Amino acid sequence: MSDIKKIVLAYSGGLDTSVILKWLQETYQCEVVTFTADLGQGDELETAREKAKAAGVKETFIEDLREEFVKDFVFPMFRANTIYEGEYLLGTSIARPLIAKRLIEIAKKIEADAISHGATGKGNDQVRFELGAYALNPDIKIIAPWREWDLLSREKLLQYAKVHHIPVEMKHKKGGSPYSMDANLLHISYEGRHLENPAAEPEDDMWRMTVNPEKAPNESQTIEIHFKKGDPVSLNGKVMKPHELLASLNQLGGQHGIGRLDLVENRYVGMKSRGCYETPGGTIMLKAHRAIESITLDREVAHLKDELMPRFASLIYNGYWWSPERKALQTLIDHTQENVNGWVKLKLYKGNVTVIGRDSATDSLFDTSIATFEDDKGAYDQKDAAGFIKLNALRMRIAAKIKK
């Protein structure tokens, strides 16, 4: 341990990383520098700075990465319509490669010997952080306290915090261990407490970004999103920066109870895990993106994207954002988005997002003169369909004759 002189800790100021900060100082007897990424989690940032200073940290890095997070990580992921296991919009997963990148960059800048994180030895985040770190610096030393110490429960963490006078926000009115939470501009996740029982309904006061859909406004709201090369660029006619647009969608979606998810997922480390997620803006954005693609993408390109998406989702979920295969897939995905331009109208109402219109002035492949149920004036010869059907049925007709 004596060869470690300086550590950069990914620090949120929550229970886990507050305990880890003190534990690293005691165990490694070295300087610990904290790094807190502002990914849109809100007022936790100043609290994190104050708690780090109170713990004797001399150097803290708190960086506003909101625009980079949405522009270079969230948007590229959404160009692929990425969802994991049919439901999860990967709000935690997509934040980890950016945090890993900055950890490595800060470690190089201040000549630190190691980086550290608060991910448990049971979870996915340890894999995501460390795969990313090794991809960017193959020689970096990584300290994962959850794999070294004996504080293997949240109650033990609370006891350690009490003994060492570490302030902890319980974040729950009923006492006991707080939820294990992760928040950023894309989502909030909740794990732990009674959520560990997959049969137990989430407590209504747990949710933070969204109102209960049953208590959402009785009047629907219509919004319009404009896309350029697959990315949303304006909301209701107002051009916005990526992080500003997502924040606005979060506010609108939250007001209408959109984006709640209760999921049992398959972790990369092998176990099943129950978590609850709030992703209001992302839920709206995914619906809108698929709508604009529906009129601007060639059929086979769209179907190819749908075939590749689960693999792309798994790469992000499992921590392979910086891998060559993810980058190769991203190149293909981005190429498909060149003509994904236009607008989508959506109706928000009591937890639901409904597409009510879409158009592209320059790139729509929807040809009304061919698709019409009225007289198409010869644009499409319906007699051609007979040969098309017979040729496609040929192999099945031959097989049927053999069976006879």
Would residue 125 show up in a list of annotated catalytic residues for this protein? yes
Q: Which of 11, 8, 13, 9 has the alpha carbon at shortest distance from 47?
A: 13
| Non-local CB neighbours of 2 within 8 Å, separated by 6+ positions | none
As a whole number of angstroms, the distance between CA 318 and CA 323 comes to: 11
- For residue 16, indicate whether it is catalytic: yes
Measured over all CA atoms, what is the biggest interatomic distance in the chain, rounded to whole angstroms?
85
Burial class (CB within 10 angstroms; exposed 0-12, middle 13-18, buried 19+) of 294: middle
Neighbour order of strands in the sheet with 188-191: 180-183, 188-191, 272-278, 260-266
CA 327 vs CA 74, 135, 153, 322, 335: distances in Å: 14, 13, 37, 7, 12
Dihedral (Cα; 10, 15, 19, 20), 10-degree rounding: -30
First to last CA, the chain: 78
| Selected catalytic residue, list 66, 96, 326, 358 | 96
Cα(139)–Cα(181) distance, rounded to whole angstroms?
Answer: 31
Distance CA 121, CA 148 (A): 9
- Annotated active-site residue 375? The verdict is no
What are residue 48's phi and psi, to 5 degrees? -60, -45
Token representation of residue 402:
């053999």
Could you tell me how many residues make up the chain? Answer: 404
The three-point CA angle 108-113-115 to 5° equals: 80
Which of the following is catalytic: 18, 93, 116, 180?
A: 180
Task: State how far the Cα of 12 lies from the Cα of 118, in Å rounded to an integer.
Answer: 9
Query: Would you tell me how many other CB atoms lie within 10 Å of the CB of residue 326?
Result: 18
CA distance 288 to 396: 39
The verdict on whether 64 is a catalytic residue reads: no
Question: What are phi and psi for residue 393, nearest 5 degrees?
Answer: -90, -5
The residue to which tokens 């997620």 are assigned: 277
Marked catalytic residue, from 12, 79, 125, 189? 125
Catalytic residue list: 16, 96, 125, 180
